Amino acid sequence: MKKTVLLDKKIGQTPLEAIELWKAHHPNYANVAASYAGRLDPMASGKLLVLLGEECKRQQEYIGLDKTYEIEVLLDVGSDTGDILGIVTRSPQETMLTRSDIKRILGEEVGTHTRPYPIYSSKTVAGKPLFLYALEGTLDTIEIPMHEETIHSIRYRGSSPYSTRKLKQRIASLLALAPTSDQPSKALGADFRIEAVKKSWQEVFEHDRPYRILKLKVACGSGTYMRALAGRIGETLGSKALALSIRRTKIVGI
């Protein structure tokens, strides 16, 4: 019996759905306990490490492994989740960047920093995940917990211009893959607020203008949020930014 399996989670798939699909194709594991080590957001894709049987008891050892991501950062549009599956707002002006700007901004992110957990995350406070406080509008009743994030390196892999039309087409195709959820704990943000998210994107697209996407390769420690990184890049530029795509390409040691 395998102790671990490395799956390729698709965009819009939850980790549990990825595991269930793998088990459906491997019926001899149908009744074997399985857990994932290092979750991926619904709109992220890539390497998902699944532990099987007794190996599930070693989950904490695997969660701490370093990882590598390839991400696209959309400039001048931000969201409350840090990715495309959030309520978005646009910056009124186009950000102009030089290579020296990019080198400086990315250099500031490298190293170990103490960061707040994203408000739309599953980190619990008093037994309740942060995203529920965010949806309820009760974040002011708690203190957002902090954690350490380590980024070993960020490699700039170029940028691409995007017209409003091209961006609109891509966002539509991605949001069509967004998962739905009937879990009681997620009832407040039913189906990831998809109708409200789509409406906010439509408001962005009412203004025809050019956009730019940065392509980055990030090597980092466990627990580093790529959508939070994208948002910080926007803030450093005095604008907004979000993660248009996130793909985990490597789990070090696996």
DSSP-derived secondary structure for 102-155: HHHHHHHHSEEEEEEPPSSS--EETTEEHHHHHHHT-GGGSPPPEEEEEEEEEE
Q: Which of 41, 76, 80, 83 is catalytic?
A: 41
Tokens encoding 167 = 């961006």
Whether 208 is catalytic is no
CA nearest 215: which of 226, 223, 207? 226
Tokens encoding 154 = 């960020």
Beta-bridged to residue 6, according to DSSP, are: 49
Phi, psi of 244 (to 5 degrees): -75, -40
Residues marked as catalytic: 41
